[in-house]
Amino acid sequence: MPIIAEQPRKRAVNLTLNEVLVAQAKTYTKNLSATMETLLAEFVMAQQKAQLNRQQAADECVADWNALNASMGSFADEHSTL
Residue 19: its pLDDT value, please? 97
Residue 25 has pLDDT above 90, yes or no: yes
Average pLDDT, the chain: 91
- The model's pTM is 0.72
CA of residue 35 relative to chain centroid, distance: 20
Q: What is the pLDDT of residues 38-76, one digit of tens each?
A: 999 999 999 999 999 999 999 999 999 999 999 988 877
Q: Which domain holds residue 30?
A: 24-71
What's the sign of the alpha-carbon dihedral 45, 21, 34, 28?
Answer: negative
Nearest C-alpha neighbor of 12 from the set 41, 37, 30 = 37
Count the domains in the chain. 1
Query: 78 in a domain, yes or no?
Result: no
Residue 3: its pLDDT value, please? 63
Residue 5 has pLDDT above 90, yes or no: no
CA of residue 7 relative to chain centroid, distance: 22
